[in-house]
Amino acid sequence: SRIKRIEEPILMLNHYWNISNSTSLNTNVAYQFGELGNSRLDYPGGGNPSPAYYQGLPSYALGDPDGPDYEQAYLNYQNFTEGG
């Protein structure tokens, strides 16, 4: 789970000046300030409890560089289809 918190107000000042019927001047100044925060849950030393976590899906065991682990893929499939 990820949480993103954004508090960045924008201050904008605009000035419109009609110098004549055919000439106008627009002046704009903007300033943005504030803070941005990101956080997420971590599971140090334990497994991720999400039933859709990539290491618990059957395809994870089949994509092993040393060769597919069909037994682990079947166990992952059983856990995934039975609700974890």
Domains contained in the chain, number: 1
Structure confidence at residue 74 (pLDDT)? 92
Cβ-Cβ contacts under 8 Å for 65 (sequence gap 6 or more): none
Range of the domain at 72: 2-41+48-81
Confidence of residue 13 (pLDDT cuts 50, 70, 90): very high
Confidence band, pLDDT 50/70/90 cuts, at residue 1: low
Name the more confident of 18 and 56.
18
- Ramachandran bin of 2, using left for φ above 0, alpha for ψ from -120 to 50, beta for the remaining angles: beta
Render pLDDT for 24-73 as a digit per residue (tens, 0 to 9): 999 999 999 999 888 877 777 777 777 777 788 888 889 888 889 999 89
